[in-house]
Amino acid sequence: MDKIFKAMADVNRRKILTILKRGEMSVNELLENFEITQATLSNHLSILKKAKLVESRVLGKQRIYKINIELLIFFAKNINQFVGKTEEKFVEEIAVRLSK
């Protein structure tokens, strides 16, 4: 969980996760949504990957990234320890939003 919190502490990494909700994207496709260098974006993606929040695959010379929905759902369920008991409906709603 510590790696997840660290990874999500940065606004750019949260933005990457939000963008990847739309579906798989290459680094170049992601880069279009930012005013940062490719090296900086790659560093952010590396941190997200180490936290297992994103997964990647190689397609030719490109890396294609996708969000790890299962881990985010697990994280949402476990966040209850900090906010108290939440309704299961709330967690299910998060899962539905992430899978869209």
Give the CATH number of the domain where residue 49 resides.
Answer: 1.10.10.10
Burial of 58 (0-12, 13-18, 19+ CB in 10 A): exposed
For range 54-62, the mean pLDDT: 95
> Which strands, in side-by-side order, build the sheet including 62-67?
25-26, 62-67, 54-59
**Per-residue pLDDT reduced to its tens digit, 65-96:** 999 999 988 888 887 776 665 556 666 666 66
Confidence band for 1, pLDDT divided at 50, 70 and 90: confident
User: Over the chain, what is the mean pLDDT?
Assistant: 87
What single letter denotes the amino acid at residue 58?
V
Which domain, by its residues, includes 34? 2-99
Decide if 36 contacts 25 (C-beta within 8 A): no
Tally the domains of the chain. 1
Please state whether the predicted TM-score (pTM) of the whole model is above 0.85. no
Question: How far is C-alpha 40 from the chain's CA centre?
Answer: 16
Q: What pLDDT is stored for residue 100 in this prediction?
A: 58
